[in-house]
Amino acid sequence: MDTEKKQEFHVQGRRDFVKQSSMIAGSLLAMPILSKATSFEGSGSAGVIKVALIGCGGRGTGAATQALKTKENVQLVAMADAFPDRLKDSYDNIKEALGDKADRVAVPEKNKFIGFDAYKEAIALADVVILATPPGFRPIHFEEAVKQGKHVFMEKPVATDPAGVKRVLEAAAVANTKKLNVVVGLQRRYQNSYRELYKRFQDGIIGDITSIQVWWNQGDLWVKPRKPEYTEMEYQMRNWYYFNWLCGDHIVEQHIHNIDVGNWFKNDTPATASGMGGRAVRTGKDYGEIYDHHYVEFRYADGVVMNSQCRHWKAAASKVDEEIVGTKGRIYCDRAQIVDAKGKVIYQFEKKGNENNPYQTEHDELFAAVAKGEYKYSDALRGAQATMSAILGRMATYSGQVIHWDKALDSGLDIHPKTYAFDATPPVVPGADGFYPYAKPGITKYVG
């Protein structure tokens, strides 16, 4: 991508990113391993849509349950996870959650795959693949699903570093060529109230956007104690939230939802990010290398600023919301309300009886398209946009510098281990005192 095209992207937003992504994928399409693009065939044999679950934690269990609750003829036929105990718990919990539809779980023991490479065998057995491992694995799993010609539901974020985002972009272009439906779990895009707010925004109800405010502020999260038998890799895998190669930090793993809403309404991605963050409260050995708070000023190419804040502070005020400010009014997303410049309510979405469960709707719409043999969903591109935006924010808070989108995306930054194995050394390890090194603004550098 030359400089002219990068600059054009910031002006045109998503449209130019699609163009660039197709260009990036050109060489990949020529590779023999991907040259035999599978035709779009809709559902599997005998009208059954076969599903494989890759990643059997809480989110994977929930996503598989939602897939199996759709009205389509769906069966879970394969499961894969790094840990046998998580797979077993997930299998049992899915069956229990389905009640009288438990027969939709049709996973014999031979189709329960364990280990870092287990995803390949599970994907081979399915028509639709659910990718719900820790997000650091998302690029390689998505690549494999596309290579094998499968439709995909994948959780957000879609990567944890710029190198991973590039891999997703390349695979996304191939998925488009193969006409594979891809839905990404940024569920606000599938929520009735957000869709209605966006329609009215498109009609000009608040005029031109002047600023955006987004929040994901909440209390503390889970920690799993270290056990003597754990290798360092297993400990990090079981506490994946606290290590960047696996999680991306909570600005990427959670706050991506709100950042995505800002990008959606702005129809663009930030050109730069600057900000601050640190470890003010969550400072113990159990919290790996991630921060407990971030504040980022995302600036779009036209000068509009999205102010972003996220934090994990126990007993502090919570707020998870987005506010879109325009020349004629503003949108309060969580309350599903639009007001004019004087604060008068000019639209209110009535949630009672009209709001949906967007987590379920994601699967309802995906599986309906697959059952009908329709190609309707290509979320991977905007999933990559939202992911890269959040990574841009993390790079800004970690370094204390202004980070530019084009330089960050092209930096080649890859924070992953060279080998995925339980006896391998992860990218970050604790010091003699048991504490993990973490980024320090003004000291931590990013090259590229």
Confidence band of 19 (pLDDT split at 50, 70, 90): low
| Average pLDDT value for residue range 280-287 | 96
Same domain, yes or no: 146 and 194 = no
Query: Which span out of 1-5, 42-46, 97-101 was modeled with the highest average pLDDT?
Result: 97-101
pLDDT value for 2: 35
| Average pLDDT value for residue range 379-407 | 97
pLDDT tens digits, 305-361: 999 999 999 999 999 999 999 999 999 999 999 999 999 999 999 999 999 999 999
Using CA atoms of 222, 254, 430, 421 in order, give the dihedral in degrees to the nearest 10.
Answer: 90
Residue with tokens 């931590």: 444
Would you say residue 51 has pLDDT above 50? yes
| Average pLDDT value for residue range 249-259 | 98
* SS3 assignment, position 378: strand
Would you say residue 395 has pLDDT above 70? yes
pLDDT tens digits, 40-50: 344 444 589 99
| Average pLDDT value for residue range 225-249 | 97
Residue with tokens 């193969």: 178
What beta strand segments (E) does 175-326 contain?
182-184, 209-218, 272-278, 293-299, 305-312, 319-326
Give the structural domain span for 66: 3-188+363-374
Same domain, yes or no: 348 and 232 = yes
Which amino acid would we find at residue 162? P
Same domain, yes or no: 314 and 268 = yes
43 vs 437, higher pLDDT: 437
Would you say residue 55 has pLDDT above 70? yes
Our count of domains for the chain comes to 2
pLDDT value for 11: 34
The neighbour count for residue 8, using CB atoms within 10 Å, is: 16
442 domain-assigned: no
Same domain, yes or no: 194 and 126 = no
Instruction: Using the 3D structure, point to which of 315, 349, 374 is the last residue of a domain.
Output: 374
Same domain, yes or no: 181 and 225 = no
pLDDT value for 16: 56
Give all strands of the β-sheet with 49-54 in edge-to-edge order.
112-114, 74-81, 49-54, 128-131, 151-154, 182-184
Task: Please give the Cα distance from 331 to 342 (Å, whole number).
Answer: 13
Task: Please give the Cα distance from 43 to 63 (Å, whole number).
Answer: 19
Q: Residue 72 phi/psi, 5° resolution? A: -80, 170
Mean pLDDT of the chain: 91
Would you say residue 59 has pLDDT above 90? yes
Same domain, yes or no: 47 and 178 = yes
18 dihedral zone (left: phi>0; alpha: psi -120 to 50; beta): alpha
* SS3 assignment, position 311: strand
Q: What percent of the chain has pLDDT over 70?
A: 89
Instruction: Using the 3D structure, point to which of 348, 374, 400 is the last residue of a domain.
Output: 374
Same domain, yes or no: 86 and 157 = yes
Secondary-structure breakdown of the chain: helix, strand, coil percentages, each rounded to the nearest 5: 40, 20, 40
180 domain-assigned: yes
| Average pLDDT value for residue range 193-215 | 98
pLDDT value for 26: 43
For 220-235, the DSSP string reads --------TT--HHHH
Would you say residue 249 has pLDDT above 80? yes
pLDDT value for 17: 54
List CB contacts of 239: < 8 A, sequence separation 6 or more.
223, 224, 286, 288
Same domain, yes or no: 277 and 217 = yes
pLDDT value for 40: 36
pLDDT value for 22: 44
Q: What percent of the chain has pLDDT over 90?
A: 88
Q: For residue 224, what is the domain's CATH number?
A: 3.30.360.10
Same domain, yes or no: 302 and 369 = no
pLDDT value for 4: 32
Claim: this prediction has a pTM higher than 0.85: yes
- As to burial, measured by CB atoms within 10 angstroms (0-12 exposed, 13-18 middle, 19+ buried), residue 172 is buried
Q: For residue 16, what is the domain's CATH number?
A: 3.40.50.720
